[in-house]
Amino acid sequence: MFGKQSALSILAGTAFSVLLSGTPAAAQSSFSCPAEDVAPAQQTVIQSILTSGEAFDNPGLLVEAVTRLHSEGVSPLLTVNGLVAAYCPVIADDASLADSDKTQLVARFAGRVTHIAYGLESADGIILNVTFDPATMDSVTQKAREAGVSPEDWVRDIVEIALN
């Protein structure tokens, strides 16, 4: 558990650094990524699998990158840091996004990668973070309650039904 807590602490620090770059106090400067020292071998693995900005949104490729880094002895903590360090410049370079959008995207990506990096140690599933507006979430919660399951299980079941 210590490793996961350490990763979450560093993730929080990284996310905090990114969030600070999007605050009004930092309005004079543009969005910037926190400096991360990523080992060249780790960078090579990440770049060989995640070859474009769109690849970072592909859960299968993210799992492949995490699995490969893990098989090469990279800890989940360094895996998360390396992937966020690789992703952040892709977002930072997107002139169509406001700084607040960039901050939100990097924070969401960091959360997703953390779930994958630590989830692969104990499960064979991929966690997908989905945002619902409050009214939709109320409906999901009500339907789940009626079905006697958690909202997460209800959504997963509905998606599985839709795919089959």
pLDDT for the residue numbered 121: 58
Residue at 32: amino acid letter? S
Model confidence at 2, in pLDDT bands (50, 70, 90)?
A: very low
Position 129 in a domain: no
Asked whether 120 and 66 are in contact (CB, 8 A), the reply is yes
Q: Give CA–CA dist 5/118, Å, rounded.
A: 11
Q: Give CA–CA dist 121/8, Å, rounded.
A: 15
Position 128 in a domain: no
Considering the domain architecture, whether residues 60 and 97 belong to the same structural domain is answered as: yes
Q: Which structural domain, as residue segments, surrounds residue 63? A: 2-119
Considering the domain architecture, whether residues 74 and 140 belong to the same structural domain is answered as: no
Considering the domain architecture, whether residues 88 and 153 belong to the same structural domain is answered as: no
Structural domain total, the chain: 2
Considering the domain architecture, whether residues 78 and 33 belong to the same structural domain is answered as: yes
pLDDT at residue 52 tops 60: yes
Mean pLDDT (the chain, rounded):
79
Considering the domain architecture, whether residues 102 and 140 belong to the same structural domain is answered as: no
Q: How many of the other CB atoms lie within 10 Å of CB of 132? A: 13
Please write the tens of the pLDDT for every residue from 113-164.
988 888 765 555 666 677 888 889 889 889 989 998 888 889 989 998 999 8
